Amino acid sequence: MAYKLFIPGPIAVSEKTLRAMAQPMIGHRSTDFVALYQALQPELQTLFGTKDAVYISTSSAWGAMEGSIRNVVKAKVLNCMNGAFSDKWYDVSLRCGKQATALKFEWGQPVDPEAVRAELAKGGYDAITLIHNETSTGCMSDLEALMAVIRQFPDVISIVDVVSSFSALSIPKDKLGIDIMITGSQKALALPPGLALLSVSKRALDRATGIQERGYYFDFQEFQKNHENGMTPSTPVIPLIYALKSKLEDIKSEGLEARYARHARLNKTVRDWALAKGFKVFAKEGHGSVTLNCFANTLGYDLPALNKILKSKHNLVIDGGYGKLKGKTFRISNMGDETDATIAALIASLDSALSETPKAAA
Ligand SMILES: *Cc1c(COP(=O)(O)O)cnc(C)c1O
C-alpha cells in the first residue's frame, strides 16, 4: 500500500516529521505550550516576511480563507479568478452573505494587474482575494505587480492565498503590503493536512473590529488576543505543531536561499523532461509555478492508465488533472523535501511507465 505522492498536496511527509508528531500531549494552556508557540514565531515571521504575528489555525487553509472574508469584508469584495481554487473564493464570499464581484481570467492565465486596477477604480471595494499560485492550473501570478496596484487603493484589504507557494520562494508580506497572507500545512511545507497559518496586518485587525458577524472560530481578534499570551483561541492540533517545529528546524538548517534554489531547480528538471517528450506547459509562458508543473496532455496519453502503472509498478502517484482539466492535463509536484535524486528517480519511473501507457481513444 505504501506509495509516494507527487500530487500537489498532500505530499510526502518525512520520517522525521512523522516522528516529531508522536510526542506526548501537553496542555494547550500550559507553560510548555506557550514556550512551543513562542519558539515558532521568529522563524514563521521570517518565512512570511513580516513583523506581524503568525496565527496558527487548526483547520485546512479554507477555514482561514473563509474566516478572512468574514473578518474584513464590509462593503464588497473583488474575487480574482483564474482556476479552481480562486473560482471557489467567489462562491465562498457569496455563501458568507457578502457582496462580491467575479473578475475572471481563462484557466492557465495569470491575474492581470491592469484588469484589477480597472475594476478597483470603479469604487465600492473594501477587500480583494487573490491566489498567488493557482495549484489547479500550475499558474503563478505576478504578486509584486498585483500588490503595486492594490496598494494604490487604501480602502482595499488584500487577502492573499500563498497556500501552494509558501516557503518555496520569497514572498515578503510586509514589503509587498499584503494584509492577510494564508498558507496550509500539506503543500510546500510537507506536513500532514490540518493546519493553516495566517498573518494579519494591523489595518486588517482594525477593520475586523468594526464588523459584528466575525463568528468565533476564525475571529482575528480572538487570534490576536490569544497570540499575545502565546496561545491559540481553541485547542490546537498539537501533533501538527510539533511537526511544524521540526520542519522549521529543517528549513533553517537548509537555509532559505538554498531552499528556494532547490525548488526552482527541481521544477525546471521536471519541466525540461516533459518539454523534451513533447508535452506543453499549461500555464501562460513565463507564469509556470515553481512548486508544481501542470502539463497539457498534448500527446494524448490515457492518464488513468498511466497512474495505474505508476502506482502498481513504481509506488508513486501523480495527478491526472483537476476539475474540468481532468484527463486534459497532469500535474507533478516538486514541493517539500524532494531532491535531485528523488526527482531523477521519478523521471526514470515516468519514462518507464509512459513506454507502456496506451494513448486514450480520441
Ligand atoms: C490546496 C489549496 C487550497 C485549499 O486548501 P485546503 O487545505 O483544502 O483548505 C487553497 N488554495 C490553494 C492555492 C491550494 O493549493
Write out pLDDT tens, residues 130-149: 999 999 999 999 999 999 99
Q: Give the tens place of pLDDT for each residue, 293-342.
A: 999 999 999 999 999 999 999 999 999 999 999 999 999 999 999 999 99
* Domain match, 237 and 313 both: no
* Long-range pairs, 264-273, Cβ under 8 A, ≥24: 264/169, 264/290, 265/340, 266/334, 266/338, 266/339, 266/340, 266/343, 267/291, 267/292, 267/293, 267/334, 269/334, 269/340, 269/343, 269/344, 269/347, 270/332, 270/334, 270/343, 270/346, 270/347, 273/347, 273/350
* Domain match, 167 and 221 both: yes
Q: Which atom of ligand 1 is nearest to the CA of 8?
A: 15
Q: Whose CA is nearest to atom 5 of ligand 1?
A: 61
Domain range for 218: 16-252
* Domain match, 286 and 137 both: no
Q: Which atom of ligand 1 is nearest to the CA of 193?
A: 7
* Neighbour tally for 97: CB within 10 Å: 11
Residues with CB under 6 A from ligand 1: 9, 60-62, 85, 131, 133, 135, 161, 163-164, 184, 187, 193
Instruction: Give the pLDDT score at 2.
Output: 87
Looking only at Cα atoms, what is the longest distance across the chain? 63
* CA 93 – ligand 1 centroid, Å: 16
Arithmetic mean of pLDDT over the chain: 97
How far apart CA 213 and CA 219 sit, in angstroms, is 9
* CA 357 – ligand 1 centroid, Å: 30
* Domain match, 84 and 233 both: yes
Residue-wise DSSP of 265-278: HHHHHHHHHHHHHT
Residue 62 domain flag? yes
* CA 119 – ligand 1 centroid, Å: 26
Instruction: Give the pLDDT score at 1.
Output: 65
* CA 131 – ligand 1 centroid, Å: 10
Contact 287, 140 (CB under 8 A): yes
What is the mean predicted confidence (pLDDT) over 226-250?
A: 98
The residue behind cell 515553481 is: 290
Whether the pLDDT of residue 362 is over 80: the answer is no
* CA 163 – ligand 1 centroid, Å: 6
* Domain match, 178 and 96 both: yes
What proportion of the chain, given as a percentage, has pLDDT over 90? 99
Contact 161, 206 (CB under 8 A): no
Q: Which atom of ligand 1 is nearest to the CA of 164?
A: 15
What proportion of the chain, given as a percentage, has pLDDT over 70? 99
Output the nine-digit C-alpha cell for 160.
492573499
**Structural domains counted in the chain:** 2
CATH of the domain at 287: 3.90.1150.10
* CA 289 – ligand 1 centroid, Å: 15
Instruction: Give the pLDDT score at 288.
Output: 98
Instruction: Give the pLDDT score at 361.
Output: 61
Q: Provide the pLDDT confidence category of residue 91 given band limits of 50, 70 and 90.
A: very high
